[in-house]
Chains A and B, each alone.
Chain A
Amino acid sequence: MSTPPENDIAALLPRLRRFARSITFHREDADDVVQIAVERALTRSAQWEPGTRLDSWMFRIVKNAWIDEVRTRARRDQLFAPEEEGEHVGDDRAEAQQQRMAIEQAMRRLSEEHRMVIGLVLVDGMAYKEAAEVLDIPMGTLTSRLARAREALQALLSDRTRNKE
């Protein structure tokens, strides 16, 4: 049996959507990316080598679907704003939401490369080794890229804090 079982792909969908959300700029684009990736995975399932990690393979397809199909037509105008406006329940919630939006906004200002490593390691929680495999780069490159990505993200977030004060 050389094709990945469909229900194994289905089980990965929540993680794939979360990753896609972290590398795109819009919910619908994120889901488009995942949908395209699932279609590709099924049509190219013979390319998956049994015994290798299905998740690494799927994450790589998601990454590629973004880069070569959705990115060019991506929505960039409004992040996740429409649904979030007008819901202000309490201070705690507003604060948590602000924090979340600050991170989303900082993420979209990162370079593509930096968003990818953050999306894999910090958002998905993937080990360095697997993340390096998804991105097809050596471990050393992954580690230094991740360190730079974190610095960049931290800088964007502290800019925001400073500007508020």
Chain B
Amino acid sequence: MSFSDETLMAYADGELEPALAARVEEAMRADPRVEEAVQRHRALRADVFSAFAGVLDEPVPARLRPAATPAAAPAPAAAAPPVSAPVSDPGGATVHSLEARRAARTPPARPAPAAPRWGALAASLAVGVLVGALGWQALDAGQPPFARHGGAMVAQGELADALSHRLAAEPVAADAVRLGVSFRDRDGAYCRSFMLGTTGGFACRQGDQWRIPVLAQAEQEQGQEAAGAYRQAGSAMPAAVLDAIDGRIAGGTLDAPAERAARDRGWPGGK
């Protein structure tokens, strides 16, 4: 029995009804060429997905949020609570006080498309330069967040603590470590992305340590005033880090329940 390429594609996409899917599986066992065709569809899907996956991790520019568009909000420039965290906040806790946000805004002019983007990045820096050179004055612990351990950079102190114990959706103080996505790398280790001030990176669990393969500095462009509107959303994860995640991730990012389960089990796995 042979299946059309469309049927094999639909199987790879999880779109076949169970009875037909079972027949495809049978054919895959019987014929390596069928198996190969399905794998090709899966691989392309995974590659295309990961090429764009990093976008979800970027803070949403303020100009895109509903309350910021001219169509919404007559918006008097009244004193009111500040605009809160990015709407991509997985907790979703920051988006419900639209009225307050609206009141807080002066009528927004739509920025020219070429307006400086907060979160545009600078070149990545070598890890060693970062330690000591960058400002984690924000972290009041005297201990730097990174240490060298056997040639690798590992997290320590508040950073290690956040990576081990905190869920991404938990609200934190503005100056604390911000956690991004969690995922498993190709060796099966759990990894988590984080931002520390304007430094972004990710760490992977190895044994009882969080090793940090990549750190990069997000830097605001010239003209901080112009970028001011975007700052409250926090710095964007540097693209260098997103690229590195793309290169390591196996499958997708963990959703909130999976993240919690992994945390509760102590981030097992990895070599």
Q: Which residues does A use to contact B, with CB under 8 Å? A: 6-7, 9-11, 13-15, 17-18, 21-22, 28-29, 31-32, 34-35, 38-43, 83-84, 86-87, 89, 92-93, 95-97, 99-100, 103-104, 107, 118, 121-123, 125, 127-128, 143-144, 146-147, 150, 153-154, 157
Contacts and interface: CB of A to CB of B under 8 A. Distances in A.
Please indicate which of the listed interface residues B9, B40, B248 has the most CB atoms of chain A within 10 Å of its own CB.
Answer: B9
B95 A7 contact: yes
Nearest to B70: A39
Contact residue range for chain B?
A: 35 or more
Contact of B67 (A6, A34, A41): A6
Contacts of A11: 87, 92, 95
Interface string B86-106: 011000100110100000000
A96 B244 contact: yes
Interface SS majority for chain A: helix
Contacts of A32: 113
A39 B55 CA distance: 21
14 contacts: A15-B56, A22-B52, A34-B64, A39-B70, A41-B66, A83-B239, A89-B244, A96-B247, A127-B15, A143-B6, A144-B6, A150-B41, A150-B44, A154-B40
Q: Which 8 A-B pairs give the minimum distances between C-beta atoms?
A: A96-B247, A18-B55, A103-B51, A42-B71, A6-B66, A122-B48, A7-B95, A10-B87
Contacts of A10: 60, 65-66, 87, 95, 98
B64 A87 contact: no
Given A29-B113, A38-B64, 5 more contacts: A7-B66, A35-B63, A83-B120, A86-B123, A93-B247
Contacts of B63: 31, 35
B19 interface: no
